[in-house]
Structure 1
Amino acid sequence: MRRYLAVGLDCYFCIITAGLLARPYVNVSTTVTEVLGLLTGPALAFSFLNQVALTAVAGAGLGKLIMGIRVIRLPDAGRPGLWRLVRRWLYGLSLLPLQPWYGLRSFLARAGTGPDAPHPGTLPNGCTGEPYTDPSGLRQVRRSDLAAHRDAMAFPH
């Protein structure tokens, strides 16, 4: 639930920022397509700054920082590199919106044909559509869990 709230906060901040930046250029005669065009640039720029730049510097985007979540590199729980973050951001823009479709397709296949239903497939990048899969080898964890992991690694038993 915490992850979904973080994503919701990120979306909220993105929409608010894009709206505030585009507001001076919108007037009564502006069409819907022009408004969408004005919103697209600032939304993509804020999304990149939040998901890539801020995560590279602070370990998480704005919504994740508020919710106490960190983005780590697997398997060593280190800080993610810039190129992994860029790949994760591009993945989020292109394939992540399709996850509800893959989840629904999987649910319908299981519900429709019983326990021996064929696996509905995977996403084009090899992920199964599970909420924690990430093709760039990154994972989202609670800040407290990360601190406990680092403490445990510092003092092996």
Structure 2
Amino acid sequence: MRRYLAVALDCYLCLVTAGLLARPYVDTAAVPEAVGLLIGPVFAFSFLNQVVLTAVVGGGAGKLIMGIRVIRLPDAGRPGLRRLVRRWLYGLCRVPLQPWYVLRSYLAGPGVLPLSTFWTSGHNDPVGLRQVRHSDLTAHRNAAAGYL
């Protein structure tokens, strides 16, 4: 539940920030220009939040507020920029299409494609990253260092 709230908070903060920046210019722009004025900052802030902020402090704004960190598997270290960019691109391309894949599998009939092919539990990350609670990560690092 915490992960979903963190994602929702990330989306909300990104949209509000982009909307506040584009607001003075949207009133005088035509509809296609207004859409462009909104989409550009949304992608820019999404990249800054999901890639740059995660590389620097271990999580985006929503994840930090919810007490979640993004780690690399299997050593629980900080993820590199390449993995973070791949994860961001995966989120932009694959995750919004999840409902379409589920609907398509239902319409294709039973036994064609299992739902687990398209709808995962959230623990499987295609680039080898995982979201964990900060307190669990601290306990793991203390145990690995020999502090109990």
TM-score grouping bracket, smaller chain normalisation: 0.7 to 0.9
SS in 2 for 1:41: helix
Task: Please give the per-residue CA displacement for 1:14-60, whole angstroms capped at 9, x wherever unaligned.
Answer: 11111111112122x53433221110111111000000000000000
Distance 1:103 1:148, change over 3 A: farther
- CA deviation profile, 1:45-91 (whole Å, cap 9, x unmatched): 10000000000000000000000000000000000001100100011
Counterpart code for 1:92: G
TM-score, normalising length: structure 1: 0.82
Amino acid at match of 2:146: F
Deviation at 1:151, TM superposition (A): 1.6
Secondary structure of the 2:120 match is: coil
Q: 1:72 to 1:98 in 2, by over 3 A?
A: same
Structure 2 spans left out of the alignment, 5+ residues: none
Number of equivalences:
146
CA-based RMSD of the aligned residues comes to 2.4
Q: Does 1:153 align with 2:141?
A: no
**C-alpha separation in 1, matches of 2:99 and 2:67:** 25
Q: Percent identity?
A: 69
Provide the residue aligned with 2:50 in structure 1: 51
Tell me, which stretches of 5 or more residues in structure 1 are unaligned? none
* C-alpha separation in 1, matches of 2:137 and 2:99: 29
Q: Deviation of residue 134 (structure 1)?
A: 1.1
CA 1:145/1:101 → structure 2, altered by over 3 Å: closer, same or farther?
farther
Select the residue among 109, 124, 142 that pairs with 2:133.
142
